[in-house]
Chain A
Amino acid sequence: MKKNTIVSFISNNLVPLMFVLICSVAIPLSGFSFSYLLAEIVTRIARNSFLILSLLIPIMAGMGLNFGMTLGAMAGEIGLILVSDWQIWGIPGMILAMIISVPISILLGTISGKIMNLAKGREMITGYIMNYFINGIYQLIVLYAMGVVIPIVHSSILLPRGYGIRNTVSLLAMRQSLDNLLAIRIGTVKIPLFTFIVIALLCLFILWFRKTKLGQDMRAVGQDMEVARASGINVEKTRIISIVISTVLAGFGMIIYLQNMGNLSTYTAHSQIGMFCIAALLVGGASVDKATIGNVFLGVTLFHILFIVAPSAGTKLMGNSMIGEYFRVFVSYAVITFALIMYETKKRKALREVGRSLGLSQTRLSQSKQA
């Protein structure tokens, strides 16, 4: 019995356990002190958690690990570009960028939700490809419309040709403005208290939201769409709402993320972030149909430990930091693949079990009829 419990625990948490194992080998190899690692992890949890939390609501609605959040990230970036040009600094700049991002996120979220409703069960790949399509429109706007149709005044963000935005937009005027608000320092570790308060509020919102009528509807849709439809839930509308909430939150998350970084990679930041957030969530033990707040924090911690220690461990082990970096990239993508394969295997196994038990009950029924 005890052995079975251990085996089921290991099989249910194989991905986080693998990461714990890899980290426990890589940390001593890297030679980093505990305080340094802690300081880095705290910074990165504050930077990334909001973004990853934005993925939870669509998962609750059964839309899986879709890349709809990338669209929200694009909306957040557009807000930041405009705010940078208008020279709105600090926290007011962040709030204004968030306000600007909301209607764009709602529009993109609605489009995304409608497309995903046409491709039920294949949301992940649909979302991933849809990002390329929306990314093209984003590039058209940022590269050609900004400076021509959308007025951009400052040459510091405008390409020398007079229109289009530079590869990198400096956000120095709002760099860590949220993180420095109420920041406390314990030894060498800086704790961005206000950012953590914002993250905690989002966690509370998610917990509260699960208990609301809409949250319950989303859970019902996530469990079985046909049963939910039969019980009077507008499945399509509920799914669209979940994606819209996710994109809006992702827009906010991207702004929080970029204020910490202090600069914006105009054309690549959003596409990298989608893959990164999904990988971090999977590392935390989430699956395509189930993710919790705990998975977010465990995932971001484990994933980032590997981010920090891999290059240094690679240098110590092989004399080349790039080996560690390649290893980290390989592991990151391998984890996504592995987690998806495991999910599919478990789903098929469960279906087989259902089929087997159905077959057994039918056999018993026919035997009792014959008797």
Chain B
Amino acid sequence: MKISKKFLYRSISILVIILLAFFMFVIGRGHTIYFDNKTFESQNLTYNSVYRVDLMVKGELKGQIFSRERISDTCMGQSFNFILKVIESRGDEPKEYEFKIRIPYSWDGVVINLPALINGAEENVYMSKFIPTVVETPSLEDDVVITDEFMIDPVL
């Protein structure tokens, strides 16, 4: 069977587009990461919260997490690099830690317990899937679908 050049070029183009789509699918996956500075118990071990943790991402200070606090950040892709400046107790010198974590693709939100991470706990201990606890109340407004195309949007 003879394959024509046209067919070959078209097949290669489609293949390249599919590969590009797959690549975008992987690198563009967004995650929300929640950093917890809370006392955490796992496998009969207790990881105590620290006084303050400064979160740095790509050289930018994202926030200061005091004991029993949580902040969030976003990341694209499955790899997330960050630096933590940890002050164990008030007046202590900050210790710097650099981490690179892999985030499961299917998780939209990830909770990272900082005390467990700093103390070298296993990945399945310091990292857990974020499950939203707030249930959205359905609003009547959302049930009404507006399909009036004669309306001109002033922000166009």
Report if B1 contacts A (CB, 8 A): no
A294 CB to closest chain B CB, in angstroms?
22
Q: Is the CB of B153 within 8 A of A272?
A: yes
Interface residues on B, range: 20 to 34
Q: Is the CB of A160 within 8 A of B154?
A: no
Known contacts A90-B76, A93-B24, A99-B24; A159 and B143 CB within 8 A of each other: yes
Q: Is the CB of A267 within 8 A of B145?
A: yes
Report if B136 contacts A (CB, 8 A): yes
When distances are taken between beta carbons in the complex, the residues of chain B under 8 Å from A173 are 30, 74
B94 CB to closest chain A CB, in angstroms?
32
Report if B57 contacts A (CB, 8 A): no
Q: Is the CB of A93 within 8 A of B154?
A: no
Candidate in B25, B31, B136 with the most chain A CB atoms within 10 angstroms: B25
Complex formed: what's the CA distance from A307 to B24 in Å?
36
When distances are taken between beta carbons in the complex, the residues of chain A under 8 Å from B156 are 272-273, 276, 307
A39 CB to closest chain B CB, in angstroms?
15
Q: Is the CB of A267 within 8 A of B76?
A: no
A151 CB to closest chain B CB, in angstroms?
13
**Option from A87, A164, A272 in Cβ contact (under 8 Å) with B29:** A87
Report if A123 contacts B (CB, 8 A): no
Q: Is the CB of B29 within 8 A of A160?
A: no
Report if A271 contacts B (CB, 8 A): yes
Give chain B interface residues in 119-156, CB to chain A under 8 Å. Answer: 136, 138-139, 141-149, 151-156
Interface residues contributed by chain A, number (CB under 8 Å)? 39
Question: CB-nearest residue of chain B relative to A173?
Answer: B30
Report if A359 contacts B (CB, 8 A): no
Report if B20 contacts A (CB, 8 A): yes
When distances are taken between beta carbons in the complex, the residues of chain B under 8 Å from A88 are 24-25, 28-30
Question: CB-nearest residue of chain B relative to A267?
Answer: B147
Q: Is the CB of A329 within 8 A of B143?
A: no
When distances are taken between beta carbons in the complex, the residues of chain B under 8 Å from A95 are 20-21, 24, 28
Complex formed: what's the CA distance from A227 to B37 in Å?
77
Candidate in B147, B148, B151 with the most chain A CB atoms within 10 angstroms: B147
Candidate in A88, A92, A99 with the most chain B CB atoms within 10 angstroms: A92
Known contacts A265-B153, A276-B156; A96 and B108 CB within 8 A of each other: no
B49 CB to closest chain A CB, in angstroms?
30
Complex formed: what's the CA distance from A159 to B74 in Å?
25
When distances are taken between beta carbons in the complex, the residues of chain B under 8 Å from A325 are 154
Complex formed: what's the CA distance from A173 to B30 in Å?
8
Q: Is the CB of B136 within 8 A of A96?
A: no
Report if B101 contacts A (CB, 8 A): no
When distances are taken between beta carbons in the complex, the residues of chain B under 8 Å from A90 are 28, 30, 76
Report if A117 contacts B (CB, 8 A): no
Given A89-B30, A268-B148; 9 other pairs, CB 8 A cutoff: A92-B27, A95-B28, A99-B17, A159-B142, A159-B143, A166-B142, A173-B30, A261-B155, A267-B146
Binding site for A on B (CB under 8 A): 17, 20-21, 23-25, 27-31, 74, 76, 108, 136, 138-139, 141-149, 151-156
Q: 10 A–B contact pairs at CB < 8 A?
A: A88-B25, A89-B29, A92-B23, A95-B20, A96-B21, A135-B149, A159-B143, A160-B136, A261-B155, A265-B146
